[in-house]
Structure 1
Amino acid sequence: MNWKQTLTVVLLSALPFMASADNQEKPTLAATGSAHYRFERLNIDSPDGERHYRLDIAIPDGTAPATDYPVMYLLDGNNALAELQDSWLGELDAGTPPLLVMIGYDIEGTYDGEQRTRDYTGTTSRAFLDLIETKIKPEVQAHYAIDLNRQTLWGHSFGGLFVLSALLERPDAFQTWIAASASLWYQPMTFDNGMALRKFPEGTTRTVRLIRGEREGKPPIAQFDGGSPERRKAMQAVPSDANRLLAEHLAILPGAEASYEQFNGRNHGQMFSTALHLGLRRAAGLPERP
C-alpha cells in the first residue's frame, strides 16, 4: 500500500520506559528546591474514584508574564520530575518560562507499567484524554493563570503514542504536540488525508514534533504475547522509519506544521531526558538547543 495515499501505522507502545534505580532514589527538585521554579502538588481522582493521579506543578519564580503562563502538560509525570534539571529551568528565563504540569500517579516510585499502559494505549486512552480535558485542565486553570493559546502536550514512548492518538482525536486541545520515541507497533491507527482534514480546526495551526533516537529498535515482536498472530504480523510490518513517514505525512496536511528529527547515538531510554530538555525549551518559545 502506498503510504502517501493511506498510511496505516500500527501505533506502538515500545518496550515501556523503565525508570532507573537512581531516579527512584535521588531527591527531585521538588524536594531539594530550584533557583528558578517553585513546586506545588495537586491530586486528582478518576470519575469512578478508582484511579489516583498526582499533578506536580512547577511555577516560574520570576515575574508572571503579561498574558498569563504558557503551559506544558507532561505525561509520565513521576519520571519527568525525577529527570528535571535546574540548569534546564534556568535556560527558560531567556524566553517565556512555562508552567509545567507533570501528570503522574500517586505512587512512591517513578514508574507504573500497568497504569500507563491502560491510560496511554487502546480504547481506554480516550477516558484518560477526557480526564485531562474535563478534570485536570480545569483544576490547573482554577489555580493558575493559563494562556489557552499556548498549551503543549509532551509524551515519551507510550506517552508519545498517546500524544499522536490525542492529536487526531481532539486536535483543538493543544497547540503544540511533542511525541518522543513513539514506537509505532502496538495498535492500528490510520492516518489519511480524509480523517485529518475533517478533524483539524480551520484557521488554526497545530505544531507537531516527532523525535527519535538513532539506536531505537523494535522489541522482539515474534515473542509478543499480547495479541493474535495477525496482530503480530501487522506489528512486524511497520517500517523502521515510521516516525519519519508519519511526520512527512502530517506536514502536507492543512493546519499542521509537522517535523521529525533523529538524535544520533541515543537509545529509547536516553531519549526521555533528551526530549524533556528539548520540549521545555520549545514550550518557552526558545530554539530547541542552547
Structure 2
Amino acid sequence: MNWMKSLIVIVLGALPLLAIADHQETHPLAETGSAHYRFERLNIDSPDHQRHYRLDIGIPRSAPPASGYPVMYLLDGNNVMAEVQDDWLGELSAGAPPLLVMIGYDIDGTYDGEQRTRDYTGETSKAFLELILATIKPQVQARYSLDLKRQTLWGHSFGGLFTLYALLQRPEAFQTWIAASASLWYQPITYDNGMALTAFPAGTTRMVRLVKGEREGKPPIAQFDGGSEERRKAMSAVPKDANRLLAEHLAQLPGTEASYQPFNGRNHGQMFGTALHLGLRRAAGLPEQP
C-alpha cells in the first residue's frame, strides 16, 4: 500500500495549493519589502537533523510597547509569505501590530505537501508540536520583546487541523487559536476528542476561532482512506459541519470563548487569504473586518 500512501499525500497536497497558485509568481513582500514590517530569517532543524524549517519573522517597524509585541505563529509559513499583502500589515498600526513567526520549510518553493502532511497530521504531529513549544518559541522569545499573554497560533486546512490538535494537547501554550477550514474529516480523533472534552485546565483562558468557506465540502473519503474500511467509516462519520459543531461545544466550556463563521462564496483555497487577513487583525486586537 505504499503507492496508495504516496498518492494520498500528493492528492491532499493539491488541496491548499489552490490557495496560493495566484501568488507564486509575485511574492510581493519577498521582492519589494514592506513599508510596515522588516523581515528576518531563522533556520531550525528537528532534533534528529532530518527536517529543516525556515522561520520568516516579521518585525513591526514601530517600537514594541512596554509589554512587548503580541506574537502570532503561522503554519504554512512559505505560503503565508507569498500571500500576505502589505496593506493588510499597514492596517495593524491601528492596534498593536504583532510579531509574525511564519513557520515554513527550507525549500525553494512555497509548498511541500509531504512534509506538511507529516507534521500536521497523525502520530508525527506530536513531535512537530514539541518542536514549536520547546525549540521555536524559546528561540523567538530570546530574540524579541514579546507579550506572552498575547500569543496566537494560526493554521489553514491541515494547519487548521493541527491548530485544534495543539489546543487539545497544550491549551496553555497560546491564548488565541485560529483554525481555518480545519480538515477534521481527515483525523477523526481530533474531532472526537474535542467533542468529548468537558473542561480545560483550571486557571487558563483562551479564544478559539473557527472559520470556513460556504463552498467547501468534504472530499471523497475513498480517495484518502488508504484502503482501510475502518478508517473510511471513521472519516465518513465526521459531520460535514464538524467545524461549527466543535466551536459550539468548546464555547460551552469554562474559560473558553469560541465561535464559528462561514464565509459566503469562499472555497477551500480562497479561505487561506481570507483567514490570514482576519487572523492578522485579530492578533493586533482589531475587529476582524476593516
Aligned to 2:252: 252
Q: Per-residue displacement from partner, 1:224-259 (whole Å, max 9, x unpaired)?
A: 352511211221222111111000010111121110
Aligned to 2:131: 131
Aligned-partner SS, 1:17 = helix
After the TM superposition, which of the residue ranges 274-283 and 224-233 deviates more from structure 2? Answer: 224-233
Within 1, Cα distance between the matches of 2:263 and 2:218? 17
CA contact (8 A) 2:13 2:114 kept: no
User: Closer, same or farther in 2 for the Cα pair 1:68/1:172, shift >3 Å?
Assistant: same
Shift of 1:16: 3.6
Within 1, Cα distance between the matches of 2:182 and 2:61? 33
Structure 1 vs Structure 2 CA RMSD: 1.6
User: Closer, same or farther in 2 for the Cα pair 1:30/1:231, shift >3 Å?
Assistant: same
Within 2, Cα distance between the matches of 1:54 and 1:271? 23
CA contact (8 A) 1:16 1:158 kept: no
Aligned to 2:173: 173
Aligned to 1:76: 76
Scaled by the length of structure 2, the TM-score of the pair is: 0.91
- Partner amino acid for 1:251? A
Aligned to 1:202: 202
User: Closer, same or farther in 2 for the Cα pair 1:192/1:110, shift >3 Å?
Assistant: closer
User: Closer, same or farther in 2 for the Cα pair 1:14/1:205, shift >3 Å?
Assistant: farther
> Which structure ranks higher in relative contact order (CA pairs < 8 Å, sequence separation ≥ 6)?
1
Within 2, Cα distance between the matches of 1:278 and 1:271? 10
Within 1, Cα distance between the matches of 2:162 and 2:15? 13
Shift of 1:92: 0.3
Aligned-partner SS, 2:287 = coil
User: Closer, same or farther in 2 for the Cα pair 1:216/1:88, shift >3 Å?
Assistant: same
CA contact (8 A) 2:188 2:238 kept: no
CA contact (8 A) 1:201 1:255 kept: no
Within 2, Cα distance between the matches of 1:215 and 1:88? 24
User: Closer, same or farther in 2 for the Cα pair 1:248/1:239, shift >3 Å?
Assistant: same
Aligned-partner SS, 2:17 = coil
CA contact (8 A) 2:206 2:257 kept: yes
Within 1, Cα distance between the matches of 2:170 and 2:104? 21
CA contact (8 A) 2:216 2:266 kept: yes
Q: Per-residue displacement from partner, 1:137-162 (whole Å, max 9, x unpaired)?
A: 01111111111110000000000000
Please state which structure has a larger fraction of its residues in helix. Answer: 2
- Partner amino acid for 1:276? L
2:287 matches 1:287? yes
Q: Per-residue displacement from partner, 1:26-68 (whole Å, max 9, x unpaired)?
A: 1341331111100110000000000000000000001221210
Within 2, Cα distance between the matches of 1:21 and 1:154? 20
CA contact (8 A) 2:195 2:246 kept: no
After the TM superposition, which of the residue ranges 152-161 and 253-262 deviates more from structure 2? Answer: 253-262
Aligned-partner SS, 1:49 = coil
Q: Per-residue displacement from partner, 1:82-138 (whole Å, max 9, x unpaired)?
A: 001000001000000000000000001111000000000011001000000111001
List runs of 5+ in structure 2 lacking aligned partners.
Answer: 1-11
Counterparts of 1:139-158 in structure 2 under 5 Å? 139-158=139-158
Aligned to 1:269: 269
Aligned to 1:230: 230
Aligned to 1:219: 219
CA contact (8 A) 1:14 1:186 kept: no
- Partner amino acid for 2:17? M
Aligned to 1:112: 112
